[in-house]
């Protein structure tokens, strides 16, 4: 059975949940309301999706171990891996301008020090700047400087940098 979902409103920034528990409760309520309109009980998988804990989120605990057969490139994977290579090249080039010989991520660390936040949060702040650029594109249909592809590559790079710095702050080593 195919169902079409139409989104009629987009939440404003202050309408997003403040924390994971509130987001889970909002999702449970939305699923229950949708199923009440259809007069059926929510499937167990929908309920399970509403029970994500902070420990589950972003800790790698749900990542399956790949078998040799799983490692074969599937449709879309080649393009995905090509983008990751592009991001790696972008990172190498940009660290020549922004980093130092001793620390490729020194600019992110120093920026975070200025505002008194952890280094990984400084990278998240830069992602936020890039998201504002995308929002401008969504509303105006154009951006003045970096295009959408450059912005998406930057977001990907900053996300990887944030993960590196977060792991570093938490004492994890690669």
What string of DSSP letters covers the chain? ------------GGGS-SSHHHHHHHHHHHHHHHHHHHTSPPPHHHHHHTT--TTTTTSSTTPPPPPTTTTSPPTTHHHHHHHHHHHHHHHHHHHHHHS-SS-TTHHHHHHHHHHT--HHHHHHHHHHHHHHHHHHHHHHS--SSS-HHHHHHHHHHHHHHHHHHHHHHTT---
C-alpha dist (Å) from residue 145 to 38, 84, 137, 148: 47, 23, 11, 9
The per-residue pLDDT for range 37-92, each reduced to its tens digit, is 665 554 454 445 555 555 555 555 556 676 767 666 778 888 999 999 999 999 99
- Which residue's entry shows tokens 């590196």? 164
pTM of the model: 0.59
Torsion sign (Cα): 76, 77, 83, 86: negative
User: How many CB atoms lie under 10 A from the CB of residue 173?
Assistant: 5
Residue 133: name the closest of 125, 143, 123, 124 by CA.
143
Please give the Cα distance from 2 to 139 (Å, whole number).
30
Residue 42 has what pLDDT? 47
Residue 86 has what pLDDT? 96
For residue 15, the 8-state DSSP code is G
Confidence of residue 97 (pLDDT cuts 50, 70, 90): very high
Q: Is residue 144 scored above 60 in pLDDT? A: yes
Q: At CA 138, angle to CA 132 and CA 144, rounded to 5?
A: 65
């Amino acid at each position: 059975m195919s169902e079409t979902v139409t989104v009629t409103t987009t939440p404003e920034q202050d309408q997003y949940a403040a924390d994971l528990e509130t987001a889970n409760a909002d999702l449970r309520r939305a699923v229950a309301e949708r199923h009440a309109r259809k007069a059926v009980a929510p499937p167990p998988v929908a309920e399970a999706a509403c029970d994500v804990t902070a420990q589950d989120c972003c800790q790698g605990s749900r990542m399956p171990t790949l078998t040799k057969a799983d490692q074969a490139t599937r449709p879309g994977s080649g393009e995905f891996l090509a983008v990751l290579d592009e991001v790696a090249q972008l990172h190498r080039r940009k660290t020549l301008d922004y980093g130092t010989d001793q620390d490729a991520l020194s600019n992110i660390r120093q920026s975070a020090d200025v505002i008194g936040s952890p280094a990984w949060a400084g990278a998240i702040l830069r992602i936020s700047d890039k998201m504002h650029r995308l929002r401008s594109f969504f509303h105006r249909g154009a951006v003045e400087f970096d295009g959408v592809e450059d912005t998406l590559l930057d977001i990907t790079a900053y996300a990887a940098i944030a993960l590196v710095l977060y792991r570093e702050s938490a004492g994890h080593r690669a």
